[in-house]
């Protein structure tokens, strides 16, 4: 049901796809319910949101802000000035746009605008994607009206009375990916009578996952399995060249997969990093997963994301250090164990929250109505 009310919203967050795509999913849900709503995104100049948000059809304004580096750099000398400059710019934006509410999705890009909005007592929500809260969201938790989270026990970081367990927003097409198996396999030029492994390491790529797969992809192919492999931009040429030399059938190499609903639909087992968005999507998809958390993230939050599922027998995990020796063996063991596949698949589905986007917009509208 849609309403024709001219609501105005500011949505902020960025730096990574994990902050940007949930924000866009929520914007799309708002527009589907309130076609007349005006939505303004606020991000950080020079970051990926400045490209991804306009591609999704929304206006974005970039602030002069960046994160504080944990090592000594010249950039850190600018940090206090950037914070002050961005905060003053954010206050002007809020005054001019007059939003009914503001939503923050994490990353340093959301700090100034959320602080400016909460200082004016505007209805406000932050959404925390990870099981380990980010610095910006932690600092905003006491100031906003509600905190929408994807994991239990988040009162370690936020006031308990403000927490709403909504889940992470995922794209609608992914929710229905399980119904697309035959079309998906056809799309990738693969056979319908063979099991398929999906390998994803992010848009830039994951060095350990790519190296581990190069070491073992021949064994997987010889065992009769098919592979859809997203290498990421940095590793595509190398992987493509080396796999071509192996002359394997049923191995599809992609720099980036845009049709993730079809990639999930074609797969029987998934190998993935454990970023918040990937974890939430995989729970909705409900396929057996092997997580290889990236060690190169703040507070090791990918390991914490993965362990929240491993502890409930909803996924397997291979550490980044172990991957070269253990990854392919773990994949083969899993593909040979139908009972384990079914158990993982069933348990990860129980942890999914396919209505997360709707739930967050419900919480938002409850605030302003």
Of residues 210, 222, 211, 212, the one with CA closest to residue 246: 222
CATH topology of domain 173-350: Rossmann fold (3.40.50)
Residue 75, pLDDT > 70, answer no
Q: What percent of the chain has pLDDT over 70?
A: 92
- Residues in Cβ contact with 149 at an 8 Å cutoff, skipping those fewer than 6 apart: 127, 128, 158, 163, 164, 165, 166
Helix axes 338-350, 276-285, angle to 10 degrees: 110
User: On the CB side of 165, how many CA atoms lie within 13 Å of its CA?
Assistant: 10
Q: Look at 260 and 86; give whichever has higher pLDDT.
A: 260
**pLDDT value at position 73?**
60
What kind of architecture, by CATH, is found in domain 8-169+354-368? 3-Layer(aba) Sandwich (3.40)
What is the strand order of the sheet 124-128 is part of?
59-63, 38-44, 8-12, 101-104, 124-128, 146-149, 163-165
Q: What is the mean pLDDT of residues 125-132?
A: 93
Lookup: tokens for 4 = 């024709």
Residue 79, pLDDT > 80, answer no
Residue 181, pLDDT > 70, answer yes
**pLDDT value at position 46?**
83
Contact 136, 63 (CB under 8 A): no
Residue 176, pLDDT > 90, answer no
**pLDDT value at position 74?**
59
**pLDDT value at position 81?**
57
Q: Look over the chain and give the mean of its residue pLDDT values, rounded to a whole number.
A: 91
Domain ranges of the chain: 8-169+354-368, 173-350
- Residue 232: strand, helix, or coil: coil
- Residue 271: strand, helix, or coil: strand
**pLDDT value at position 66?**
56
Chain segment 284-325, per-residue pLDDT in tens: 999 999 999 998 877 788 999 999 999 999 999 999 999 999
Q: What is the mean pLDDT of residues 232-252?
A: 94
**pLDDT value at position 72?**
56
Q: What is the mean pLDDT of residues 77-99?
A: 79
**pLDDT value at position 204?**
62
Q: What is the mean pLDDT of residues 69-94?
A: 68
- Residue 283: strand, helix, or coil: helix
**pLDDT value at position 330?**
98
Q: What is the mean pLDDT of residues 195-216?
A: 89
**DSSP, residue by residue, 44-88:** ETTSTHHHHHHHTT-EEEEES--PPPSS--THHHHHHHHHHHHHH
Dihedral sign computed on CA atoms, order 177, 181, 183, 188? positive
**pLDDT value at position 68?**
47
Alpha helices in 120-230 (DSSP H): 135-140, 172-175, 181-187, 207-222
Burial zone of 350 (CB within 10 Å; 0-12 exposed, 13-18 middle, 19+ buried): exposed
Residue 354 DSSP symbol: T
Comparing 8-169+354-368 with 173-350, is the CATH topology the same? yes
CA distances from 48 to 51, 109, 179, 296 (A): 6, 11, 32, 19
**pLDDT value at position 62?**
87
Q: What is the mean pLDDT of residues 175-183?
A: 89
Confidence at 367, pLDDT banded by 50, 70, 90: very high
Residue 3, pLDDT > 90, answer no
Residue 63, pLDDT > 50, answer yes
């Amino acid at each position: 049901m849609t309403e024709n009310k001219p609501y105005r919203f500011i949505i902020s967050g960025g730096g990574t796809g994990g902050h940007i795509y949930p924000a866009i999913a929520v914007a799309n849900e708002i527009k589907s319910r309130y076609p007349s709503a005006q939505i303004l995104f606020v991000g950080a100049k020079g970051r990926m949101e400045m490209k991804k948000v306009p591609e999704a059809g929304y206006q974005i304004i970039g602030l002069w802000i960046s994160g504080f580096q944990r090592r000594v750099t010249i950039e850190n000398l600018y940090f206090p000035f950037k914070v002050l400059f961005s905060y003053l710019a954010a206050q002007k934006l809020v005054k001019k746009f007059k939003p009914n509410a503001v939503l923050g999705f994490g990353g340093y890009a959301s700090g100034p605008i959320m602080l400016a909005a909460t200082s004016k007592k505007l209805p406000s929500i932050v959404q925390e994607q990870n099981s380990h809260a980010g610095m910006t969201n932690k600092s905003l938790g006491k100031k906003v009206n509600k905190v929408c989270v994807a994991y239990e026990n988040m009162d370690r970081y936020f006031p308990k009375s403000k927490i709403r367990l909504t889940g992470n927003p995922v794209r609608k097409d992914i929710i229905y990916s399980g119904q697309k198996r035959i079309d998906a396999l056809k799309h990738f030029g693969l056979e319908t009578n063979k099991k398929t492994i999906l390998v994803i390491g992010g848009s830039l790529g994951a060095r350990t996952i790519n190296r581990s797969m190069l070491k073992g992809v021949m064994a997987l192919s010889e065992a009769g399995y098919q592979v859809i492999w997203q290498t990421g931009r940095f590793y595509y040429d190398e992987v493509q060249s080396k796999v071509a030399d192996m002359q394997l059938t049923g191995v599809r190499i992609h720099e980036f997969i845009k049709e993730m609903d079809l990639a999930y639909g074609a797969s029987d087992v998934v190998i993935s990093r454990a970023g918040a968005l990937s974890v939430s999507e995989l729970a909705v998809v409900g396929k057996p997963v092997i997580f290889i958390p990236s060690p190169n993230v703040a507070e090791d939050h990918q390991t914490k994301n993965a362990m929240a599922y491993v502890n409930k027998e909803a996924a397997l995990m291979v550490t980044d250090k172990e991957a070269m020796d253990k990854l392919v063996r773990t994949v083969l063991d899993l593909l040979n164990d139908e009972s384990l596949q079914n158990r993982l698949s069933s348990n990860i589905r129980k942890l999914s929250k396919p209505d997360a986007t709707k739930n967050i917009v419900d919480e938002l509208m409850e605030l302003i109505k």
